[in-house]
């Protein structure tokens, strides 16, 4: 089994946004925060980083590395990928998911499949994964907050999973709903988003060979904070499209409501394709802080962001003729 080095954890670097967040929580508690909801998936670290570097953990998974879907770029460390996370059900600070997800139980797991498909019902995780052997793919992982990582995910193509449900011709979109367990997820006590977390893709995006249903990273099962036991990875889109801990997959004819779009429609579009030419209203998307190699925080280097996160050759044709500024 491969070993991955674990350099020191990425530190806090966006303090002003955490101040913003606290103010927002306060105002919300007074029922005054509707306009401030626009802060969105953009709030930085508001918790201290873990004291010790995390050691790789979780059950090893046998998954050969894909030759087609990989990148020569330096990998992010296990430590940074598993200690610097966004998973608001466990808290809004980057260190909160790793700190607070210990009580969460990702086994056993079932997923409800519904909507415009010939095969619907409740499926176990093992059943969902059956159509395809696990493989490892190294993808760039670009958060809308303008940090990025390079992560070896383990999973199966999303399309292989969805095809077996035989979506009908009315299925134009597929929606993902994620788990909501207040007793195990302290972040759900705060109305940061309209829970449960929801995301969706257009059918052709979901069926694209790059879209991955991930169950692991670095050759091991996903840690809770990374979305155990299964999550979405859509590497040409901002990270928030990657719904964690999915419990429901539903085929829709209309474009589904998604959590971030609902929270702040002017900041988080339905498509959310990585696009250096379209800035977020409050910061540039033309560059990103690459958390890899020597850790993150202040030491992370800034690199230019590529259209579709570097996957333009593979996916640009999905959007032929569309105005990507209007459909951000």
Please, which residue, 149 or 156, has the CB nearer to ligand MTE? 149
Please, which residue, 159 or 227, has the CB nearer to ligand MTE? 227
Give me the least distance between CB of 158 and ligand MTE, in Å please: 15
Give me the least distance between CB of 170 and ligand MTE, in Å please: 27
Give me the least distance between CB of 78 and ligand MTE, in Å please: 12
* Chain residue whose CB lies nearest ligand MTE: 239
Please, which residue, 88 or 123, has the CB nearer to ligand MTE? 88
Give me the least distance between CB of 104 and ligand MTE, in Å please: 11
Do 220 and 59 contact (CB within 8 A), yes or no? yes
179, two tokens: 């788990």
CA distance 160 to 200: 17
What letter does residue 82 receive in the DSSP assignment?
H
Give me the least distance between CB of 196 and ligand MTE, in Å please: 8
Q: What are phi and psi of 312, to 5 degrees?
A: -60, -45
Residue 190: partners with Cβ closer than 8 Å, 6 or more residues away: 25, 92
- Our CA dihedral for 55, 220, 300, 297, rounded to 10 degrees, sits at -50
Q: Which residues of the chain form contacts with ligand MTE (CB under 6 A)?
A: 41, 85-89, 141, 143, 178, 197, 226, 239-240, 242-245
CA distance 235 to 185: 26
Please, which residue, 37 or 116, has the CB nearer to ligand MTE? 37
Spell 9-32 as b/e; 16+ CB within 10 A means b: bbbbbbeebbebbeebbeebeeee
139, two tokens: 């993808």
Residue 226: partners with Cβ closer than 8 Å, 6 or more residues away: 81, 82, 85, 87, 97, 217, 244
Give me the least distance between CB of 45 and ligand MTE, in Å please: 13
Please, which residue, 116 or 193, has the CB nearer to ligand MTE? 193
Give me the least distance between CB of 119 and ligand MTE, in Å please: 25
Please, which residue, 208 or 248, has the CB nearer to ligand MTE? 248
Please, which residue, 40 or 115, has the CB nearer to ligand MTE? 40
Please, which residue, 211 or 226, has the CB nearer to ligand MTE? 226
Nearest one of 36, 28, 17 to 86, comparing CA atoms: 17
Do 263 and 142 contact (CB within 8 A), yes or no? no
Give me the least distance between CB of 243 and ligand MTE, in Å please: 5
């Amino acid at each position: 089994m491969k070993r991955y080095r674990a350099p020191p954890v990425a530190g806090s670097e966006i303090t002003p946004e955490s101040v913003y967040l606290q103010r927002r929580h306060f105002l919300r508690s007074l029922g005054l925060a509707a306009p401030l909801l626009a802060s969105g998936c953009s709030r930085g670290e508001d918790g201290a980083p873990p004291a010790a570097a995390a050691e790789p953990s979780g059950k090893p998974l046998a998954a050969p590395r894909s030759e087609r879907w990989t990148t020569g770029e330096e990998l992010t460390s296990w430590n940074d990928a598993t200690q610097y996370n966004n998973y608001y059900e466990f808290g809004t600070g980057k260190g909160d998911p790793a700190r607070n997800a210990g009580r969460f139980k990702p086994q056993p797991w079932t997923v409800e499949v519904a909507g415009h498909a010939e095969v619907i019902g409740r499926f176990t995780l093992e059943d969902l994964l059956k159509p395809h052997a696990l493989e490892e793919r190294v993808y760039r992982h670009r958060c809308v907050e303008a940090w990025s990582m390079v992560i070896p995910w383990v999973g199966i193509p999303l399309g292989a999973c969805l095809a077996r449900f035989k979506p009908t011709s009315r299925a134009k979109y597929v929606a993902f709903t994620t788990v909501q367990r207040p007793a195990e997820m302290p972040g759900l006590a705060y109305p940061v988003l309209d829970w449960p977390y929801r995301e969706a893709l257009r059918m052709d995006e979901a069926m694209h060979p790059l879209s991955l249903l991930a169950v692991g990273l670095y050759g091991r099962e996903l840690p809770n904070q990374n979305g155990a036991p299964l999550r979405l990875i859509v590497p040409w889109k901002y990270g928030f499209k990657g719904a964690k801990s999915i419990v429901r997959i539903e085929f829709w004819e209309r474009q589904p409501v998604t959590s971030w779009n609902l929270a702040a429609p002017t900041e988080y579009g339905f498509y959310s394709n990585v696009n250096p030419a379209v800035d977020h209203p409050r910061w540039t998307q033309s560059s990103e802080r690459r958390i890899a190699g020597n850790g993150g925080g202040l030491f992370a280097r800034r690199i230019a962001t590529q259209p579709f996160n570097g996957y333009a050759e593979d996916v640009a044709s999905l959007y032929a003729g569309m105005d990507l500024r209007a459909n951000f």
